[in-house]
Amino acid sequence: MVARPPVRLVIDRMTHADLAAVQAIEKASFTTPWPSYAYRNELETNRLAHYLVVRAAGAVVAYAGIWLMVDEAHVTTFAVTPAWRRHHVGERLLLALLDLSIARGAREATLEVRLSNLGARRLYEKFGFRPVGIRPRYYSDDHEDALIMTTEPLEAPAMAALLARRRAELAAIPDPEAPG
């Protein structure tokens, strides 16, 4: 087997040109995907919304969004295309989302995640999110409960140290090879 060359990951703001790729990842990732017009509406009309994408060799392989409400960053969506999972793409994207939140003055970050989504929960825990509550029957497709997770204050020394450690760990990992 021939090794593939590493692919540089680039994190950038989501644009209208990314919407078809985002929708494809959305459909591959969620049983009830957002409708195709939702992201367009978020980009065009929601002043609270900020969306990022991860590109590998020019192709969108992940995306995430937050709403910045007063001093809270609420993660609204987060997905990595199946072929690129377990390549540290989600970690890099979550760190960029938290950096954006801090730069925009957020004091903490919060999100909801399916109780059954252990992989996502572990990722969020690595970046300081901790369970703070349950939203019963939150998901419309199967009425699964959502776990509410929140960070410590983003500017707190312990959180700053955690993010610095994660940043250093990610910097030490070589760029991934394109999945087969």
**Residue 3 lies inside a defined structural domain of this protein:** no
**How many distinct structural domains can be found in the chain?**
1
User: Does residue 32 lie within any of the structural domains?
Assistant: yes
Q: Which domain holds residue 152?
A: 9-172
Whether residue 71 lies inside any domain: the answer is yes
Q: Are strands 130-135 and 108-114 parallel, antiparallel or unpaired?
A: unpaired
Angle at 125 between CA 19 and CA 94, to 5 degrees: 30
143 within 8 A of 137, measured Cβ to Cβ: yes
- Which CATH number fits the domain that encloses residue 69? 3.40.630.30
Query: Residue 177 falls within a domain, yes or no?
Result: no
Is 109 contained in some domain?
yes
**Closest Cα to residue 136, out of 127, 148, 124?**
148
Tell how far CA 121 is from the center of its chain: 12
Please give the Cα distance from 147 to 145 (Å, whole number): 7
pLDDT over 80 (residue 2): no
Say how far apart CA 141 and CA 138 lie, in whole Å.
9
Establish if 101 belongs to a structural domain: yes
Over residues 70-113, the pLDDT tens digits come to 999 999 999 999 999 999 999 999 999 999 999 999 999 999 99
Distance of alpha carbon 108 from alpha carbon 87, whole angstroms = 26
Residue 179 lies in a domain: no
pLDDT, tens only, 24-63: 999 999 988 998 899 999 999 999 999 999 999 999 999 9
Active site amino acids: 112, 124
Q: What is the pLDDT of residues 6-17, one digit of tens each?
A: 788 999 999 999
Please, which pLDDT band fits residue 177 given cuts at 50, 70 and 90? confident
Structure tokens at 153: 């204050």
The Cα–Cα gap between 113 and 66 comes to: 14
138 or 152: which carries more pLDDT confidence?
152
Residue 79 lies in a domain: yes
